């Protein structure tokens, strides 16, 4: 009998596909072994435990999404870049819900440093070049972008927008418009720094 040809890479890839199909919490060592035609105990020469399996999915997803983000960003600047990147982010989450969920697991510091997490914040900083923000505002803006993207996608995935006629796509477009305006009118120092409104 030939060997099944299990490698860590193929394992992570299969786990990611499984996660997209049935949800991350159903990504189990046993089920994965079943898909490779192998006994579950055999997988423990490749992975430490079930948790590490999910971590590998997270790392895989971070890298994939970073690639998509980079492709979306290429040749764009300003609001164009912002929208393209945001759509890449949301599109990936729609296409790969399990991988996206996996991205939310907390990585230990070493794994986090070896992951593509840094590329993500670097790309957001690249977007912000179109808005000329100095530190520490740049860091704050990166966190605003990350929070808004992740928050929207997360709520959408949890079905939070289903119970209302207004479509999620329209809201998403409006949120991006608003982010663009907010970044251009970034509050300069303490409190308010703008005109209009509040009679």
User: Quick one: which segment of 28-36, 85-93, 141-149, 174-182 binds DNA (CB under 7 A)?
Assistant: 28-36
User: Quick one: which segment of 37-45, 93-101, 125-133, 160-168 binds DNA (CB under 7 A)?
Assistant: 37-45
CA dihedral 63, 64, 66, 67 (to 10 degrees): 120
Our finding on whether 42 is near DNA (CB under 7 A) is: yes
Residue carrying the six token digits 């251009």:
184
- Residue 45, burial from CB neighbour count under 10 angstroms (0-12, 13-18, 19+): exposed
Using CB under 8 A as the binding rule, the residues of this chain from 139 to 178 that contact a second copy are 139-140, 143-144, 146-152, 154-155, 158-161, 163-164, 166, 170-171, 174-175, 177-178
Q: Compute the distance between CA of residue 53 and CA of residue 132 in angstroms, rounded to an integer.
A: 40
Using CB under 7 A as the binding rule, the residues of this chain from 100 to 159 that contact DNA are none
Our finding on whether 49 is near a second copy (CB under 8 A) is: no
Which of the choices a second copy, DNA, none does residue 148 contact, using the CB cut-off of 5 to 8 A by kind?
a second copy
User: Quick one: which segment of 30-38, 62-70, 90-98, 191-199 binds a second copy (CB under 8 A)?
Assistant: 191-199
CA distances from 71 to 79, 89, 92 (A): 16, 11, 13
C-alpha dihedral sign at 199, 166, 177, 143: positive
Residue carrying the six token digits 């060592």:
29
Decide whether 5 or 136 has the Cβ nearer to a second copy.
136
**Structure-token pair, residue 158:** 């949890």
**Structure-token pair, residue 121:** 């914040």
Q: Count the Cβ atoms, other than its own, within 10 Å of residue 47.
A: 19
Our finding on whether 111 is near a second copy (CB under 8 A) is: no
Our finding on whether 25 is near DNA (CB under 7 A) is: no
Q: How many residues bind a second copy (CB under 8 A)?
A: 54
User: Are the beta carbons of 179 and 149 closer than 8 angstroms?
Assistant: no
Q: Which residues bind a second copy (CB under 8 A)?
A: 78-79, 104-106, 109, 112, 130-132, 135-137, 139-140, 143-144, 146-152, 154-155, 158-161, 163-164, 166, 170-171, 174-175, 177-182, 184-187, 191-194, 196-198
Which positions touch DNA (CB under 7 A)?
1-7, 28-31, 37-42, 44-46, 49-51
């Amino acid at each position: 009998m030939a060997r099944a040809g299990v490698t860590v890479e193929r394992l992570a890839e299969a786990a990611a596909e499984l996660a997209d199909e049935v949800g991350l919490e159903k990504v189990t060592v046993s089920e994965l072994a079943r898909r490779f035609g192998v006994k579950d105990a055999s997988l423990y020469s490749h992975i430490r435990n079930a948790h590490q399996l999910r971590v590998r999915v997270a790392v895989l997803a971070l890298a994939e999404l970073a690639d998509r983000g980079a492709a979306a960003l290429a040749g764009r600047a300003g609001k164009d870049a912002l929208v393209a990147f945001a759509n890449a982010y949301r599109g990936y989450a729609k296409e790969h819900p399990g991988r996206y969920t996996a991205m939310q697991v907390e990585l230990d510091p070493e794994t986090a440093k070896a992951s593509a997490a840094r590329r993500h914040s670097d790309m957001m900083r690249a977007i912000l070049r179109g808005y000329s923000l100095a530190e520490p505002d740049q860091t704050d803006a990166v966190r605003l972008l990350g929070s808004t993207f992740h928050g929207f996608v997360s709520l959408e995935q949890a079905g939070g927008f289903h119970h209302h006629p207004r479509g999620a796509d329209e809201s998403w477009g409006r949120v991006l418009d608003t982010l663009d305006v907010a970044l251009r009118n970034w509050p300069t120092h303490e409190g308010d720094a703008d005109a209009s409104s509040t009679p």
